Amino acid sequence: MIRLAGEKVMLLKRVIAVEGDTLAFEDGKLYLNEEQVDEEYVKYPSDWDLSERSVKKGYVYVVGDNRSVPVYSHHFGQTPLKRIVGGPLW
């Protein structure tokens, strides 16, 4: 979970990259450190395109799993580690 503001507004997101990683989306496919990632948990295909970017120190990169809507309508991106609440959900 990611704390957006204050103590009450939370979003459930997936951490896809950690500090020092590079990532990009090409035709909906995630590339992490220039390797395509098989995201079997993403149920609906997307056409997201984001140019390569690096994750800053003290940050992680988060996205949601519902990617069937345009990239511009999502809350995602580099997030300070201090905003992460909880741990992995297995």
For the chain, the domains span 2-82
Note the pLDDT of residue 74.
74
Contacts of 87 (CB under 8 A, 6+ apart): none
pLDDT given for residue 27 in this prediction: 94
pLDDT in tens, the chain (90 residues): 677 666 677 778 889 999 999 999 999 999 999 999 999 988 887 899 999 999 999 999 999 888 888 877 777 889 999 888 876 655
pLDDT at position 75, please?
Answer: 72
Report pLDDT for 52.
97
Topology at the third CATH level for domain 2-82? Umud Fragment, subunit A (2.10.109)
Of 40, 37, 39, which is closest to residue 21 (Cα–Cα)? 37
